[in-house]
Amino acid sequence: MNSIRTVLCVAVLTVVSLAQAGAQDVPPVRVLAAVDVYDDGDELLLPVVIGGRTYRFGVDTGSSVTLYDRSLTNLFQTPAINAAIAGISLTLRRGAALDMATSRKLGGHDVRGLVGMDFLRGYVLRIDFDAGKLFFLSAAEPEGDAVPLVFRYGGRPVVQADITGWRSEPFVIDTGYVSNTSGFIEARLFDRLVAAGIGMEPVETKVVWVAGGEKSHVEALFRGMTLAKRQHSSLAFGRHPNVNLLGLNYLARYRVTFDFPNAVMYLKPSRQFGRRDGRDKTGLHLSRPDGRTIVESVDVESPAARVGVKSGDHLVRLDDLDCDSMRLYALRRSLAHCGGDIAVELLRGGERFMLRIDGSKDVNSAEDGEM
């Protein structure tokens, strides 16, 4: 980690020098491609054309390489095939495949690949959440605060961020991480911050999945974080086995310009600058395997479990929201920011149930004697 801090200090000086050097000579910036994206921090999806057919790939700075779903394997008659993103050439290489079926089910989008840093490193990207647009630019237009980038962990972009009450730590910028929280903090650091009182209200949940098996997840609220002299307070982070990262929910507070060729990111506050992190306290985990909104799992001893919600239930309505007609991300944001009772309508085996879930209490709230 010390080597990362040293490189970042050098990068700061480089960014300042570039900003001071003859800005009058900068040629006009051209838009190479413009793509519509969601304006709320949901997955960034690009139209990728292969053989005349369009597929949706996610923009993932947390992935070192560009990957495609195994369902596209039959397209490869040669070691590599040519594709295009809004007219920009992209090469896909045989063997760089993964099974994205679970991602499609849990994200609710028909994603067939990930555009990683092996491709993105050569481009300037601007994500304008307020406008709902992603731009590929011929060069960066410096706006807002300049944040130096270093490339580590297989070429992923890393920034240095100050954790309130602690010190500066390196964080991977991961546009592929979509959540109501700001990101993850590495496990040992997470535990130290919680022990020091910097991470507060830690919650550990045990998730039992429809397909079987059990998984634990821990998250906590942190006092705040400062990046490029901009501070945000009461941020939620999960506990990650081996890395710190900032995801889309954090970035959506800004108009973000990635100048990857010059190793700098620009942050300009957006209309969502004051958005708050959310913590879903209901215990519901949703999926969309076939167009229906299904309860994929329920946290053990959660408010949803206590009123009888079960894995496999078809969630029809949350208060006045028609679940099947909404994006899963929007539904999850509604659950994370509800702060009170939620009227739930669900179907199970053809039978309809009407329940009320208390969305204001944590899974291990003191009232339940588990703190």
Question: What does the buried/exposed string (b/e) look like for 329-365 if buried means 16 or more CB atoms within 10 Å of the residue's CB?
Answer: bebbbbbbebeeebebbbeeeeeeeeeebbbebbbbb
Q: What is the pLDDT of residues 125-145, one digit of tens each?
A: 999 999 999 999 999 989 999
Closest CA to 139 of 262, 14, 16: 262
> Mean pLDDT score of the chain, rounded to an integer?
88
pLDDT at 15: 47
Listed in sequence order, the residues at least 6 apart from 21 whose beta carbon sits closer than 8 Å to its beta carbon are: none
pLDDT at 19: 47
For residue 1, name the pLDDT band (cuts at 50, 70, 90): low
Walk across the sheet containing 254-259 and list its strands.
31-36, 133-137, 124-128, 254-259, 264-269, 145-148
β-strands 183-186, 230-240 pairing: parallel
Three-state DSSP string of the chain: CHHHHHHHHHHHHHHHHHHHCCHHHCCCCCEEEEEECCCCCCCCEEEEEECCEEEEEEECCCCCCCEEEHHHHHHCCCCEEEEEECCEEEEEECCCEECCHHHHHHHCCCEEEEECHHHHCCCEEEEECCCCEEEEECCCCCCCEEEECEEECCCEEEEEEEECCCCEEEEEECCCCCCCCCEEEEHHHHHHHHHCCCEEEEEEEEEEECCCCEEEEEEEEEEEEEECCEEEEEEEEEEECCCCEECHHHHCCEEEEEEHHHCEEEEEECCCCCCCCCCCCCCEEEECCCCCCEEEEEECCCHHHHCCCCCCCEEEEECCEEHHHCCHHHHHHHHHCCCCEEEEEEEECCEEEEEEEECCCCCCCHHHCCC
Mean pLDDT to the nearest integer, 213-242: 89
pLDDT at 366: 30
Which stretch of 8-12, 123-127, 241-245 has the lowest confidence by average pLDDT?
A: 8-12
> Above 60 in pLDDT, residue 115?
yes
pLDDT at 358: 85
> Which structure tokens are listed for 154?
């297989």
> Which structure tokens are listed for 69?
């779903």
Q: What is the pLDDT of residues 266-296, one digit of tens each?
A: 999 999 999 999 888 898 999 999 999 999 9
Q: What is the pLDDT of residues 301-354, one digit of tens each?
A: 889 999 999 999 999 999 999 999 999 999 999 988 877 789 999 999 999 999
For residue 76, name the pLDDT band (cuts at 50, 70, 90): confident
Mean pLDDT to the nearest integer, 50-67: 96
Mean pLDDT to the nearest integer, 17-39: 74
pLDDT at 216: 75
Question: Distance between CA 312 and CA 234 in Å, rounded?
Answer: 33
Q: Would you say 301 and 309 are in contact if contact means Cβ atoms under 8 Å apart?
A: no
Question: Distance between CA 295 and CA 366 in Å, rounded?
Answer: 26
Highest-pLDDT range among 18-27, 119-128, 334-343: 119-128
pLDDT at 362: 53
> Above 80 in pLDDT, residue 57?
yes
pLDDT at 207: 55
For residue 215, name the pLDDT band (cuts at 50, 70, 90): low
> What residues are paired with 58 via a beta bridge?
45, 114
